[in-house]
Amino acid sequence: MKMILVAEDDPLLLKTLGQVLKKEGYKTLLCENGKKAVEQMANGMPDLLITDLFMPEMDGIQLVTHIRQDLQSHIPILVLSASGEEARVLDAFRLGANDYVTKPFNPRELSLRVRRLLN
């Protein structure tokens, strides 16, 4: 069973993402910020990371940078953000994100993108 780590500071959205992914058959680890996500990764690397950009303690850009540069990991990363601003999207891709979805999102589209990244 594939493990997906989700870093999102909105508690309702975090719960919703967990439910959507579990319904698709994935195991999930839910974290309210990037710092907690890094702590979870110390226990084992997930198969996929879904991260918000704007979070307290460690934001999504710092998290993506940490995974790609410090951990030298190539796990797929999907950025989920309310900001569809071109500069943010390009920054995320430049730093190593594999996909970018803007909020609000369509759960079916998110599920398809997750499946594509895991295959």
Tens-binned pLDDT, residue by residue, of the chain (119 aa): 999 999 999 999 999 999 999 999 999 999 999 999 999 999 999 999 999 999 999 999 999 999 999 999 999 999 999 988 899 899 999 999 999 999 999 999 999 999 999 99
Tell me, which fold does domain 3-114 have in CATH? Rossmann fold (3.40.50)
Q: Helices (DSSP H) in 48-85: which residue ranges? A: 60-65
pLDDT at 78: 98
Give dist(CA 99, CA 117) in Å, integer: 8
Give dist(CA 106, CA 22) in Å, integer: 16
pTM of the model: 0.95
DSSP 3-state helix, strand, coil percentages of the chain (rounded to 5)? Answer: 45, 20, 35
pLDDT at 71: 93
